[in-house]
Structure 1
Amino acid sequence: ESTLQLLNFADAIALGSRSPERLFRVLDVFETMRDLIPEFESMLGGLLQNEATTIWKRLGEAIRGIFMELENRIRHDSGRTASPSGGLHAITRYVMNYLCIACESWQTLEQVF
């Protein structure tokens, strides 16, 4: 029963919002599912492995969707005017910080893309 709860939780995460702020939580669940898939093979003769693999792939799609949403936010940012002090624009700072943190998960992101 706890295995089914885990699968349902991971599936709910995969089907949730594509908000860029969720990326790191989705990455955590993606990595956890990846690591657990071999364990599912031994459970119930592997019946859960297919379900776990499907959800894992859905999590990968969610991660790609989150990056697409980030791209849309950048593209539609209304702050196209120059920064008053001549410094970095707020969206530039946000995206650079976001990508720096995302790059810490580069090995996982390579599996997704």
Structure 2
Amino acid sequence: MSDSDLSVREIARMLEPMAESIVWQLFPQARRDGPFLCVGSLQGEAGKSLKIKIRGSNAGSWADYATSKGDPMGKGDLLKLMQHTIGNGDLGAAVREAKRMLSIDSMDPDKLQRH
């Protein structure tokens, strides 16, 4: 297995334990609300309509309650959140940044298997 063999979903799951740290990096203006950090939107302004779960099961899952229910940009996992923020819509950029955060961007296949 190499880092290129990991699925997007597997990478997103690997990010879950880092959810709180990642969200604070993406949204330094976020406010805590129980198991969530909240901001106004993907742009990170003050508000509470975008809620990101930072701990427990499904850590990293998020929804923007100000968008319509059918809006594909209105919910997802941490990787999708990174895609819409630091990746400027580019999933590949988000995956590269996620791999860097996870320290698997240059790991040899044997080390990655153990990771």
TM range (shorter): under 0.3
Whichever structure has more strand as a proportion of its residues is 2
**Higher alpha-carbon Rg:** 1
Whichever structure has more helix as a proportion of its residues is 1
TM-score normalised over the length of structure 2 = 0.22
TM-score normalised over the length of structure 1 = 0.23
